[in-house]
Structure 1
């Protein structure tokens, strides 16, 4: 990755690449740039710094992410990429992953001391500016957009706690959106048909029911299974409860009398590393009833 960034060979490769989806994620625009006296630029990524790159060298200068100088360079880069995608007739295959930094983790904590609330706000302002710029060239249907509740920081992410390392439900939603695109939907259907012919999914269904002031979600298995289960509960698409991986197949969630459609999402992690996701039945609670005076 570092070598490709320094050599700037991607646009040359684009002519011979074959792909169904060209997915752009702007989260890494958080990194500063390094400008050499000769005018060459590279990204001061974690990978580059990990190999001993002298980021504080007096020989070159740093261009800070979020600065106007950074913006003008990004704008020029986007224009170049846009032109190339149009030239090769693949602009319609572009998808933009419209995500933002989270301000809180799934247990309500912040990201200090690594990231302050001010840093989160500034990063999101820069991202919003980029998305607005791209939307002038790309139709809305080519954006992946998410409920803000899904963009919550995970406390168990394999790469650590960070404003852009989200809970599992976000990644599931992203895959659903990508697979919903017509070209991928057809290919996925063929793949799933082949897979289900030789694989029985361990989770038969997830049952969600209302008991007093609680919601009870139960994962029902076709047979005895060994693995880990996590639960996510949503109201009107917004996450209201998370239970991390455990061996328990039932979760009880205390709820307030708020009207809405409630649903549970289960992730089952098998012994061989497969992750199965299953949604529960929807439950509609506390409807608002209006009456007209006679």
Structure 2
């Protein structure tokens, strides 16, 4: 099975729980759908400091150059998994385009310039309308990939985390609930385009894992989440699974 992901680590981290013949052929993160769909690339300099690793630089360039969707298209996936966790980043009007100000770029010279010279897209009805239009355009484009099945990983921020066997509530619970309310509106927009049967949502108590490989965060979950997600992907994609050419069967 050739897998593509447009989203975040909440979907990327499931790969280790999928069958060994699964091939991650493309992964686009750190980009809002609104920015990714925008037709105009940022043409200015894109030089980053030593704190930006190869992966982060690649993701930032995909967002700035608007190459994320074409990268997925060229990878010819069997399955495309979408999640909206990275919609947490703010979007800016900058240099005649739209850009996603992810956490890493925000600390770079270019990110500081974006915040100073750009104009943030405010949260509210106008952004939801723009998101709806852009999400529809993105899904129509990805749906044109021959044989590809689109799944939506309906991921939210966890309200609780595990600590010493106990389940404790995050201190910033108000922000988490506000973010989840926004995410729900976004997922409802996708549900208007993608059949509900193509959505995957964790059915247990969503818990953050302080010992997660990427560190503690409300969207870094305990292993049960990834095990559940992997099982659902396998269940929903059984008809389209195909072995990698490198695997002998």
The TM-score with structure 2 as length reference comes to 0.66
Instruction: Select which of 225, 235, 246 maps to 1:170.
Output: 225
State the shift of 1:162 in Å: 1.1
Which moved further from structure 2: 175-184 or 153-162? 175-184
Give 2:143's aligned residue.
86
CA–CA separation in structure 1 for the residues paired with 2:155 and 2:141: 24
Which residue, out of 52, 61, 75, partners 1:17?
Answer: 75
Aligned to 1:46: 103
Q: Contact between 1:95 and 1:142, CA under 8 Å: does it hold in 2?
A: yes
Q: How does 1:255-294 map to 2 (within 5 A)?
A: none
TM-score normalised to structure 1 length: 0.56
2:132 alignment partner, one of 75, 83, 92: 75
Contact 2:92 2:114 in 1 (8 A): no
Q: 1:105 aligns with which of 161, 168, 171?
A: 161
Q: What is the distance in 1 between the residues matched to 2:131 and 2:113?
A: 20
Q: If each structure's helix is expressed as a fraction of its own residues, which one has the higher value?
A: 2
Deviations 1:177-212 (A, max 9, x none): 112221355649xx7x96xxxxxxxxxxxxxxxxxx
Name the CA distance, whole Å, in 2 between partners of 1:125 and 1:147.
18
1:243 paired residue number: none
From the superposition, tell whether residues 103 and 89 of structure 1 become closer, same or farther in structure 2 (CA, over 3 Å): same
Secondary structure of the 2:74 match is coil
Aligned length: 185
2:135 and 2:156 mapped to 1: Cα distance?
19
Q: Please say which structure displays the higher CA radius of gyration.
A: 1
Q: For residue 119 of structure 2, what is the aligned residue in structure 1?
A: 61
State the distance in 2 between where 1:5 and 1:133 align: 22
Q: Where in structure 1 are there 5+ consecutive unaligned residues?
A: 195-294
Alignment of 1:65-214 (within 5 A): 66-90=123-147, 93-107=149-163, 108-112=167-171, 116-149=172-205, 151-180=206-235, 181-183=237-239, 187=243
Q: Distance in 1 between matches of 2:115 and 2:108?
A: 15
Following TM superposition, by how much is the alpha carbon of 1:28 offset from its aligned partner in structure 2, in angstroms? 0.5
Q: Say if 1:49 and 1:55, in contact at 8 Å, map to a contact too.
A: no
Provide the alpha-carbon RMSD of the alignment: 2.6
Q: 8 Å contact 1:111–1:161 — kept in the other structure?
A: no
Give yes or no for contact 2:90–2:100 (8 Å, CA) kept in 1. yes
1 CA distance for matches of 2:187 and 2:173? Answer: 21
Unaligned runs of 5+ in 2: 1-58
Higher RCO, Cα 8 Å, sep 6+: 2
- TM-fit CA distance, 1:56: 6.9
- 2: CA distance between counterparts of 1:130 and 1:97? 12
CA distance in 2, matches of 1:185, 1:9: 26
Question: Aligned to 1:16, what secondary structure does the other structure show?
Answer: helix
